[in-house]
Amino acid sequence: MIKPANITYLIGSLDRGGAEGQVTELLRRLDRTRFQPRLILFEPGARERVAGLVEDVFSLDVPQEPANAFWRRSYRALKVFMRLCGHLRRNRPDILHAHLPASCILGLPAGRLCGIPVLIGSRRSLTSAYREADWIYSASDRLITHCCHFMVGNADAVSRELVEIDGLAIDKVGTIHNGVDTVRFRPERSAFWRAHYGWKDDEVVFGMVANFFGYKRHVDFVEAAAILRRRFPLARFVMVGQDRGELPVVRAAIAGSGLSDFIQVAPSTSRPEDLYAAMDVLVSCSDSEGFSNVILEAMASGKPVIATSAGGNTEAVVEGSTGFLVPCRSPWALVKAAERLLEDRALRELMGRNGRQRAEEHFSVL
């Protein structure tokens, strides 16, 4: 028998997020007759997410430092790089697969230095999500892609950037769309969330599930909600995600719009399927997206989607069939799409059924 190839996955953490969830699903469904997985994390937390899925989990134990302490960040990166090289030399994986920019920036050159036979990098978002914020980080990310043997984009839009912006050869880039568990996420009605927030059966709930980064444009959701609330008293709104620096701005916008009683803000949940089951429409306002797990989960849950025409959103949402695509940074376009769904329950249900069918046929991991 052929010995399974040792594949080591490198990712910052297993904290709740789209890429982290996809790595977890990958570990769960990997063919063990062909691959023997290992996992390297920057941070030691959340190992319970892969309990029983992978035996060898190594943490680089990266300490947290202030984002503006450049010399500390550089010194920390050097220490982590050396520790990673030591681990790779001791374990000698056949394949190293790095996920997200920080893992690629450190992992791919470490793999080259240690002579790992196959190096794969994954990019999960458009570069506009982070390149303007930190030019050193973004320049490093662009250069490091040339260290790998192959780069995977989770959307055609991401793969095009790898060719057009990073300058990779077309034969070194491929697209593998994210997948969704269509058993966990399925059409049903949840009484818990609606009862918890006092949403009545005739009220229409618009939900946004996204960590609070600026590029996710929660402020556009709030502005659209303010307009909708004046026209449709039965409209309700919820935003769920972890704070990544933008939450105070969003809370101020909610208070300034007089929407504190109508927009609920909740932290991330370990059971997002219950949230989708309670909402009526998913809204994604992002300036930048790769291939949104949230959109897939909502579609699998039988919910219509309103999304900006950013990145892979246009590859997931079928305009007029599973939802509506609108321009970025256009609250009025969000309002126009939302009004159509508010006024037409039959349309909401039809788009929900279409979305479920599309998720099952094209994006199911089962």
Pair (199, 119) in one structural domain: no
Pair (141, 246) in one structural domain: no
Q: Strands 35-41, 95-99: parallel, antiparallel or unpaired by DSSP?
A: unpaired
pLDDT of residue 305: 98
**Spans of the chain, pLDDT less than 70:** 1, 16, 45-47, 63-71, 129-137
Give yes or no for a contact between 52 and 27, defined as CB atoms under 8 angstroms apart: no
pLDDT of residue 143: 86
State the number of CA atoms in the 13 A half-sphere of 260 facing the CB: 5
Pair (204, 169) in one structural domain: no
Domain count, the chain: 2
Residue 184 lies in a domain: no
Pair (213, 160) in one structural domain: no
Pair (65, 145) in one structural domain: yes
Give yes or no for a contact between 155 and 176, defined as CB atoms under 8 angstroms apart: no
- Provide the residue range defining the domain that includes 42: 5-175
Residue 181 lies in a domain: no
Pair (152, 212) in one structural domain: no
Paired residues of 239 in beta bridges: 208, 265
Q: Residue 170 corresponds to which tokens in the numbers above? A: 């077309």
Per-residue model confidence as pLDDT tens digits over 34-84: 999 999 998 776 667 787 889 899 998 876 555 556 667 777 888 889 999
Sheet holding 5-11, edge to edge: 57-59, 35-41, 5-11, 95-99, 118-123, 150-153, 173-175
**In one letter, which amino acid is 45?**
G
Phi, psi of 173, rounded to the nearest 5 degrees: -130, 140
Pair (224, 132) in one structural domain: no
Q: Can you give the CATH number for the domain in which 248 is found?
A: 3.40.50.2000
Indicate the residue among 146, 175, 204 that finishes a domain: 175
Pair (140, 265) in one structural domain: no
pLDDT of residue 190: 75
pLDDT of residue 130: 59
Residue 185 lies in a domain: no
- Angle, helix 331-343 to helix 218-231, in steps of 10 degrees: 50
Pair (15, 133) in one structural domain: yes
Residue 183 lies in a domain: no
Distance of alpha carbon 291 from alpha carbon 333, whole angstroms: 21
Residue 186 lies in a domain: no
Indicate the residue among 113, 140, 175 that finishes a domain: 175
State the number of CA atoms in the 13 A half-sphere of 230 facing the CB: 8
Residue 182 lies in a domain: no
Indicate the residue among 144, 175, 206 that finishes a domain: 175
Give yes or no for a contact between 295 and 305, defined as CB atoms under 8 angstroms apart: yes
> What size, in residues, is the chain?
366
Pair (284, 355) in one structural domain: yes
pLDDT of residue 19: 85
